[in-house]
Amino acid sequence: MRTFLDSKAMAKAMRARLSEKGIDIAHSEALEIVASQFGLETWNILSARIDSTASGTTRTTGATGETGLRLEGATPIFRIFDVAKAREYYLGFLGMGVDWEHRHAPDLPLYMQVSRGGLKLHLSEHSGDATPGANAVVFCTGVSALHKELTDQNYSFNRPGLETQPWGAEMQVIDPFGNRLRFIERNEAPDA
Protein backbone atom coordinates (compact mmCIF):
# COMPACT_ATOMS: atom_id res chain seq x y z
CA MET A 1 0.00 0.00 0.00
CA ARG A 2 1.32 3.44 -0.88
CA THR A 3 1.72 6.24 1.65
CA PHE A 4 2.18 10.00 1.30
CA LEU A 5 5.89 9.29 0.76
CA ASP A 6 4.89 7.83 -2.62
CA SER A 7 3.06 11.00 -3.70
CA LYS A 8 5.15 11.73 -6.78
CA ALA A 9 4.76 8.15 -8.01
CA MET A 10 1.02 8.37 -7.36
CA ALA A 11 0.78 11.60 -9.37
CA LYS A 12 2.75 10.05 -12.22
CA ALA A 13 0.54 6.94 -12.24
CA MET A 14 -2.62 9.06 -12.15
CA ARG A 15 -1.42 11.17 -15.11
CA ALA A 16 -0.58 8.01 -17.10
CA ARG A 17 -3.97 6.44 -16.38
CA LEU A 18 -5.86 9.62 -17.24
CA SER A 19 -3.79 10.02 -20.42
CA GLU A 20 -4.91 6.54 -21.51
CA LYS A 21 -8.47 7.88 -21.30
CA GLY A 22 -7.59 10.99 -23.30
CA ILE A 23 -7.42 13.31 -20.29
CA ASP A 24 -4.21 15.28 -19.96
CA ILE A 25 -3.35 17.20 -16.80
CA ALA A 26 -0.16 18.97 -15.77
CA HIS A 27 2.17 17.26 -13.29
CA SER A 28 1.66 20.15 -10.85
CA GLU A 29 -2.12 19.62 -11.01
CA ALA A 30 -1.67 15.90 -10.33
CA LEU A 31 0.46 16.71 -7.29
CA GLU A 32 -2.23 19.06 -5.98
CA ILE A 33 -4.86 16.31 -6.41
CA VAL A 34 -2.70 13.79 -4.53
CA ALA A 35 -2.22 16.31 -1.72
CA SER A 36 -5.99 16.75 -1.44
CA GLN A 37 -6.40 12.96 -1.29
CA PHE A 38 -4.30 13.05 1.87
CA GLY A 39 -6.50 15.81 3.28
CA LEU A 40 -4.02 18.65 2.74
CA GLU A 41 -4.71 22.02 1.14
CA THR A 42 -1.69 22.17 -1.18
CA TRP A 43 1.20 20.19 -2.60
CA ASN A 44 3.59 22.54 -0.75
CA ILE A 45 2.28 21.27 2.59
CA LEU A 46 2.57 17.63 1.54
CA SER A 47 6.04 18.22 0.11
CA ALA A 48 7.18 19.68 3.43
CA ARG A 49 5.88 16.59 5.24
CA ILE A 50 7.71 14.32 2.83
CA ASP A 51 10.95 16.28 3.29
CA SER A 52 10.70 16.24 7.08
CA THR A 53 10.03 12.51 7.17
CA ALA A 54 12.89 11.79 4.77
CA SER A 55 15.35 13.92 6.75
CA GLY A 56 14.31 12.33 10.04
CA THR A 57 14.95 15.60 11.87
CA THR A 58 12.81 15.41 14.97
CA ARG A 59 13.17 17.07 18.32
CA THR A 60 10.82 15.64 20.91
CA THR A 61 10.92 18.48 23.43
CA GLY A 62 11.27 22.15 22.56
CA ALA A 63 12.47 25.09 24.62
CA THR A 64 8.96 25.72 25.94
CA GLY A 65 8.42 22.08 26.86
CA GLU A 66 6.12 21.14 23.96
CA THR A 67 6.41 17.60 22.67
CA GLY A 68 6.41 16.43 19.10
CA LEU A 69 7.98 19.62 17.77
CA ARG A 70 9.61 19.10 14.41
CA LEU A 71 11.67 21.93 12.93
CA GLU A 72 12.92 21.70 9.39
CA GLY A 73 15.29 23.77 7.35
CA ALA A 74 13.76 26.99 6.06
CA THR A 75 12.96 27.36 2.38
CA PRO A 76 13.30 30.97 1.23
CA ILE A 77 10.78 32.40 -1.21
CA PHE A 78 12.38 34.64 -3.82
CA ARG A 79 10.23 36.98 -5.90
CA ILE A 80 10.76 36.71 -9.65
CA PHE A 81 9.35 38.86 -12.46
CA ASP A 82 10.42 36.95 -15.56
CA VAL A 83 10.17 33.15 -15.72
CA ALA A 84 12.60 32.82 -18.64
CA LYS A 85 15.25 34.89 -16.82
CA ALA A 86 14.66 32.92 -13.60
CA ARG A 87 15.13 29.63 -15.47
CA GLU A 88 18.28 30.92 -17.18
CA TYR A 89 19.73 31.98 -13.84
CA TYR A 90 18.66 29.21 -11.45
CA LEU A 91 18.73 26.25 -13.85
CA GLY A 92 21.43 27.36 -16.25
CA PHE A 93 23.86 29.38 -14.15
CA LEU A 94 23.38 27.82 -10.69
CA GLY A 95 22.73 24.30 -12.02
CA MET A 96 19.55 23.73 -10.04
CA GLY A 97 16.66 21.53 -11.12
CA VAL A 98 12.91 22.12 -11.06
CA ASP A 99 11.20 19.95 -8.44
CA TRP A 100 7.69 21.15 -9.21
CA GLU A 101 5.74 24.06 -10.66
CA HIS A 102 2.27 25.36 -9.86
CA ARG A 103 -0.15 27.83 -11.43
CA HIS A 104 -3.76 28.14 -10.32
CA ALA A 105 -4.62 28.67 -14.00
CA PRO A 106 -2.50 28.87 -17.18
CA ASP A 107 -2.56 32.68 -17.23
CA LEU A 108 -1.81 33.16 -13.50
CA PRO A 109 1.59 33.65 -11.79
CA LEU A 110 4.05 30.78 -11.46
CA TYR A 111 5.18 29.32 -8.13
CA MET A 112 7.94 26.73 -8.33
CA GLN A 113 10.55 24.90 -6.29
CA VAL A 114 14.11 24.54 -7.52
CA SER A 115 16.85 22.61 -5.76
CA ARG A 116 20.42 21.47 -5.86
CA GLY A 117 21.71 19.10 -3.21
CA GLY A 118 20.10 20.09 0.08
CA LEU A 119 19.32 23.65 -1.09
CA LYS A 120 15.67 24.29 -1.91
CA LEU A 121 14.25 27.61 -3.04
CA HIS A 122 10.74 28.68 -3.86
CA LEU A 123 10.48 31.13 -6.74
CA SER A 124 7.27 33.09 -7.04
CA GLU A 125 5.70 35.54 -9.47
CA HIS A 126 2.96 36.26 -6.89
CA SER A 127 3.19 39.86 -5.69
CA GLY A 128 2.37 39.08 -2.05
CA ASP A 129 4.80 36.19 -1.53
CA ALA A 130 8.11 37.98 -1.15
CA THR A 131 9.93 41.24 -1.63
CA PRO A 132 12.72 41.59 -4.21
CA GLY A 133 16.14 41.95 -2.65
CA ALA A 134 15.90 39.03 -0.22
CA ASN A 135 19.10 37.67 1.33
CA ALA A 136 19.60 34.00 2.28
CA VAL A 137 22.60 32.17 3.73
CA VAL A 138 23.46 28.70 2.43
CA PHE A 139 25.95 26.82 4.59
CA CYS A 140 27.94 24.39 2.49
CA THR A 141 31.20 22.60 1.90
CA GLY A 142 33.18 22.91 -1.32
CA VAL A 143 32.45 26.60 -1.88
CA SER A 144 35.75 26.96 -3.80
CA ALA A 145 34.64 24.28 -6.28
CA LEU A 146 31.25 25.98 -6.68
CA HIS A 147 33.00 29.32 -7.23
CA LYS A 148 35.16 27.80 -9.98
CA GLU A 149 32.12 26.14 -11.59
CA LEU A 150 30.23 29.44 -11.71
CA THR A 151 33.12 31.66 -12.83
CA ASP A 152 34.12 29.19 -15.57
CA GLN A 153 30.70 29.80 -17.17
CA ASN A 154 31.53 33.47 -17.89
CA TYR A 155 27.90 34.30 -17.18
CA SER A 156 27.42 37.91 -18.34
CA PHE A 157 25.22 39.03 -15.47
CA ASN A 158 27.03 37.57 -12.46
CA ARG A 159 30.70 36.96 -11.75
CA PRO A 160 30.88 36.06 -8.06
CA GLY A 161 33.95 36.64 -5.96
CA LEU A 162 35.24 34.34 -3.24
CA GLU A 163 36.21 36.06 0.00
CA THR A 164 37.79 34.89 3.23
CA GLN A 165 35.78 36.13 6.20
CA PRO A 166 36.39 35.57 9.92
CA TRP A 167 33.65 32.88 9.83
CA GLY A 168 34.94 31.12 6.70
CA ALA A 169 34.96 31.30 2.90
CA GLU A 170 32.03 33.16 1.37
CA MET A 171 30.71 33.62 -2.15
CA GLN A 172 27.69 35.77 -2.96
CA VAL A 173 25.51 35.62 -6.05
CA ILE A 174 22.66 37.98 -6.91
CA ASP A 175 19.82 36.92 -9.18
CA PRO A 176 18.31 39.18 -11.89
CA PHE A 177 15.64 40.31 -9.38
CA GLY A 178 18.05 41.48 -6.67
CA ASN A 179 17.81 38.38 -4.46
CA ARG A 180 21.09 37.34 -2.87
CA LEU A 181 22.42 33.89 -1.95
CA ARG A 182 25.46 33.83 0.35
CA PHE A 183 27.26 30.46 0.15
CA ILE A 184 29.36 30.07 3.30
CA GLU A 185 31.82 27.33 4.16
CA ARG A 186 32.45 27.69 7.88
CA ASN A 187 35.93 27.60 9.41
CA GLU A 188 34.69 25.18 12.04
CA ALA A 189 31.82 22.76 12.30
CA PRO A 190 28.69 24.41 13.78
CA ASP A 191 27.71 23.62 17.34
CA ALA A 192 25.56 20.53 17.50
pLDDT digits (tens, 9 = 90+) for 54-76: 655 444 444 555 567 888 888 99
Helix (H) or strand (E) holding 121: strand 119-124
Q: Which of 103, 97, 151, 95 has its CA nearest to residue 125?
A: 103
Q: Which of 107, 129, 116 has its CA nearest to residue 89?
A: 116
Q: Is residue 146 part of a domain?
A: yes
Find the CATH number of the domain harbouring 171. Answer: 3.10.180.10
Whether the CB-CB separation of 183 and 138 falls below 8 Å is answered with yes
Identify the domain containing residue 145 by its residue range: 77-186
pLDDT digits (tens, 9 = 90+) for 15-26: 888 889 898 888
Q: Count of domains in the chain? A: 2
What's the mean pLDDT when you consider all of the chain?
Answer: 86
Q: Which residues of 123-136 are buried (b: 16+ CB within 10 A; e: fewer)?
A: bbbeeeebeeebeb
> How is residue 92 annotated by DSSP?
I
Q: Is residue 60 part of a domain?
A: no
Residues 51 and 130 in one domain: no
Residue 158, pLDDT > 70, answer yes
Q: Is residue 72 part of a domain?
A: no
> How is residue 110 annotated by DSSP?
P
List alpha helices for 59-124, DSSP H. 83-87
Of the chain, the percentage scoring pLDDT greater than 70 comes to 88
